[in-house]
Amino acid sequence: MELTTFNQIILSIIFILLNGFFVLAEFGIVKVRHTQLNSLIIRGNRKAKITQEIINKLDYYLNACQLGITIASIGLGWIGEPVIAKIIESLLPGFLDESTLHIISFTIAFAIIAYLHIVIGELVPKSIAIRKPLSSALFSSVPLYIFSKILFLPLVILNKSSNMLLRVIGIPPEMTYHIAYSEEEFRSILSESQAQGTFSLNRLFLTENALNFGKLTVSGIMAPFEKLIVLYIDKPWEENLRIIKQYKRSRYPLCQGNKENILGFIHLKDIVISNLNLETPDSLRKILRPIFFVKSNMLLEDLLREFQKRKVQIALINSDKGQTTGFISFEDIVEELIGEVQDEFTTEVFVHLSDLISKKGVIADIGDIDKKEAVNRLIKKAAALYPEINEKEVSDEVWKREAMLSTAIGSELAIPHARVEISNTIIVFGRSKEGVEFNAPDKLPVKLIFLVLTSNSSPIMQLRILAKIAKVAESYIFRQKIMEAKNEDEILNVIRLADFSYSVETRDGNTADLIT
């Protein structure tokens, strides 16, 4: 039975749409993620379950898509091109000879069919699948599943043939499509998601802290044993009370005889509610709580679980020889996750970079210049912003320090610094998109330069600021977001958010000689 022109046109449209369907299915099942399907499967979505089965056998179903695309393309060429050529030929002038008519009509028909095939049968469904992979995969899953069952035998033959050729060229045909990302890939994915507005930069910093947390050990954040403030069971209560009033902490280790002989710890709440006669010798023993010891190489995440399990918030650290070398609190661990934590009695001076850098103190692009020019430009910027600065004194001190050892510390960061005659700490920041050769230990050009100027009378403050900047700049996310920032305001916002997201260990200072 000969098909009419109308029927041929309808068949051509069907073949184009079929081609588009298989392209949609192909890109949909490749782009959709298992995690997107899991929640739907839990809720009993049958299409999601079928889609999961399809992507678990991705090679097989991709071959089914290719078979469908091939059948549709051949059908379109067999039916579509001749009928379009026939229609065009009837519209051309009659004075043309038959050969010319055929060439012209074939060329135009081929162009029309190719255009429709590429746009409707390829580009549009591909774009839809890339933008909406879950919807595309679910929509195409059942028809694709049925199609693969109907053409089971041809697909088996095609799969066997392709696997055989893969083995010939040394590629194993079997592979898993459950994608596992490395930590660096995961960080990049999170960063890209944040850039697209999926979640805030603050949450991104917290997530990075959580990723870093698994690598941290007790030795990395513990305070030295010499800084531990204790009470003594064999000393007068007035002396212990003086220590409590001075440091205003809620928990103190309790010792007997000397600091190394720790009996446990006491909680001030126990003192308040116990109605003890504190003047009585040995009375504190009645409210003594056990304290536990850990090794310095213990992972912080394991210690956190121990704190939760034991319902305590302090621990002492023992060396391999059994000597007590330090202490750590629950708050120390929490700060590694969420940044600095302060309470009503905190006396330690916390360093906040965002309080020390102004918008005018940021150079968004310092230019493609050398180390000397870059540092001198930051010095001039500081002198212009703060009249109290003696530019020559600052320059002499900065370069004197730089001559001793490069202030580039790696990770594309340099912190030129000096102590000079000023009243308040000053920080000026410069960013180099091209990078400045700074003789860094990792040989990488420096892109982030913090000029830090502190008072001659505040050596501890300088150490804290340098430690803070170094800690923050360890973050891959911080460095990436600083480089992506479009202007000074965005740079300051990144610094502000990172400022409160990363804690800095400063327990070597006198103000941190206490325990939470």
**pLDDT at residue 176 above 70?**
no
- Name which of 129, 91, 88, 126 is nearest 110 in CA terms: 88
Q: Please tell me the CATH code under which domain 218-338 is placed.
A: 3.10.580.10
Distance CA(157)–CA(40), nearest Å, equals 33
Q: For residue 179, what pLDDT is reported?
A: 61
Q: Which residues contact 512 (CB under 8 A, 6 or more apart)?
A: 223, 227, 348, 506
More confident site: 507 or 443: 443
Distance CA(82)–CA(77), nearest Å, equals 8
Residues 211-225: pLDDT tens digits? Answer: 878 888 998 889 899
One-letter identity of residue 151: L
For residue 358, give the 3-state DSSP assignment.
coil
Helix ranges (H only) for 151-182 are 152-168
Distance CA(339)–CA(471), nearest Å, equals 11
Q: For residue 207, what pLDDT is reported?
A: 80
Place 253 in a pLDDT band, splitting at 50, 70 and 90: very high
Instruction: Judge whether 296 and 325 are in contact, CB under 8 Å.
Output: yes
Place 68 in a pLDDT band, splitting at 50, 70 and 90: very high
The phi and psi torsions of 24 (rounded to 5 degrees) equal: -60, -45
R_g of the chain computed on alpha carbons = 35
Place 187 in a pLDDT band, splitting at 50, 70 and 90: confident
**pLDDT at residue 477 above 80?**
yes
Q: For residue 44, what pLDDT is reported?
A: 86
Place 512 in a pLDDT band, splitting at 50, 70 and 90: very low
CA angle 150, 153, 158 (to 5 degrees): 115
Instruction: Judge whether 460 and 349 are in contact, CB under 8 Å.
Output: no
Q: Which CATH superfamily is domain 353-499 in?
A: Mannitol-specific EII; Chain A (3.40.930.10)
The residues spanned by each domain of the chain are: 5-168, 183-213, 218-338, 353-499
Place 87 in a pLDDT band, splitting at 50, 70 and 90: confident
Using a pLDDT cut of 70, give the percent of the chain over it. 91
Instruction: Please report where in the chains the tokens 């513990």 appear, as a residue.
Output: 222
- Name which of 375, 440, 386, 433 is nearest 413 in CA terms: 440
Region of 435 please: left (phi>0), alpha (psi -120 to 50) or beta: left
One-letter identity of residue 25: A
Helix, strand, coil in percent for the chain, rounding step 5: 60, 15, 30
Distance CA(24)–CA(121), nearest Å, equals 9
Tell me what the pLDDT averaged over the chain comes to. Answer: 85
| Predicted model pTM | 0.59
The phi and psi torsions of 53 (rounded to 5 degrees) equal: -65, -40
Using a pLDDT cut of 90, give the percent of the chain over it. 35
Q: Positive or negative, the Cα torsion across 160, 164, 166, 167?
A: positive
Residues 114-134: pLDDT tens digits? Answer: 898 899 999 999 999 999 999
More confident site: 153 or 179: 153
Distance CA(16)–CA(129), nearest Å, equals 17
H or E stretch at 301: helix 300-310
3-state secondary structure 415-436: CCEEEECCCCCEEEEEEEEEEE
**Sheet of 292-295, strand order:** 223-224, 324-329, 314-318, 292-295
For residue 102, give the 3-state DSSP assignment.
helix
Residues 379-418: pLDDT tens digits? Answer: 999 999 988 888 999 999 999 988 888 899 888 999 999 9
Distance CA(141)–CA(80), nearest Å, equals 28
For residue 94, give the 3-state DSSP assignment.
coil
